[in-house]
A and B are shown apart, each in its own frame.
Chain A
Amino acid sequence: MKGNPYLFAAYAVTWLIHIAYISTIVSRYSRLKREMAELRKN
């Protein structure tokens, strides 16, 4: 299989979109966990 820039771009974009979305889930989850811990403390 020869290197094809369009093929590479499509696969890379797919994973970039998924990784970006998962990152938002992880960051929102850790922020909410902190917020919940703070609420329980007070």
Chain B
Amino acid sequence: MKKVFPILGVVTAVLLIYALYQALAVAPTERTMGDVQRIFYYHVPSAWTAFLLFFINFGASVCFLIKRNQTADIVALVCAEVGVVFCTVVLITGPIWARPVWGIWWTWDMRLTSTLVLWLIYVSYLMLRRFSSSGETPLLAAALAVLGALCVPFVYFSIWFFRTQHPQPVMGGGGSIDPRMLHALLINWLAFSCFAFLVCWSRYRLEKLQREVDEAHALRSLHDPGGRVR
């Protein structure tokens, strides 16, 4: 496994560079928005990656609720944290794109507001996991994650059900997209998904080590009650 990580790292780096080249040089310039539309190749794949991670978080949380499996608990935590990072990218690149196109940084329409609410739900999930010392914390967090996951389809389909300023979805929205644009979009999504997988893997190893250190501290305090207790 130690050899797989650097190989995957190199593959991901090559993919990310190729994806950047596709986004900036190969994909055609959009007629009305111009070059600023190329934000799309980072904004949309980041959103899809965040949704994918929240979906895995949901699966792992359900698995934890049923089986009380520690690995599922770690996977849920890791996916939520990396998902929040990707969702943060979406919430920042969106307004940067909106400013030159809509003339405003932000509007409280359904898609934007529901994405912000989704982000807040997962941030509260992470806060709960970070600051609660109760033994029931993973259980409560898993329940919150199930609730949060219900918001994901709502965020995605909000532009179908409500009149919003946000454009219609690229997939299944009834619109059309230039094949070169679609290629650049999918390559970027693949690159960001591989990147997210690597980050999740690193974060998983970190969490495992954190639990080992906590266990070692707990054992030490049992043997030496006067010693340092975390």
Contact = CB atoms under 8 A, between A and B. Distances in A.
Interface residues of B, number: 34
A10 B51 CA distance: 20
A33 B42 CA distance: 34
Interface in B38-83: 38-39, 42-43, 46
Contacts of A7: 35-36, 38-39
Contacts of B89: 13-14, 17-18
A34 to B, nearest CB: 10
Contacts of A4: 34-36, 38
Interface string B196-215: 00010011011001101100
Given A10-B42, A33-B209, A17 B217 contact: no
Contact of A32 (B35, B85, B210): B210
Nearest to A20: B85
B85 A28 contact: no
B199 A17 contact: no
Interface string B180-224: 000000000000000100010011011001101100110010000
Nearest to A39: B216
Nearest to A33: B209
A1 B29 contact: yes
16 contacts: A4-B35, A4-B38, A6-B36, A6-B99, A7-B39, A10-B42, A10-B97, A14-B46, A14-B93, A17-B88, A21-B199, A25-B199, A29-B205, A29-B209, A36-B212, A42-B220
Interface of B: 20, 24-25, 29, 34-36, 38-39, 42-43, 46, 85, 88-89, 92-93, 96-97, 99-100, 195, 199, 202-203, 205-206, 209-210, 212-213, 216-217, 220
Interface of A: 1-2, 4, 6-7, 9-11, 13-14, 17-18, 21-22, 25, 28-29, 32-33, 35-36, 39-40, 42
Task: Enumerate the 3 nearest inter-chain pairs by beta-carbon distance, A residue then B residue, closest first.
Answer: A10-B39, A10-B93, A4-B35
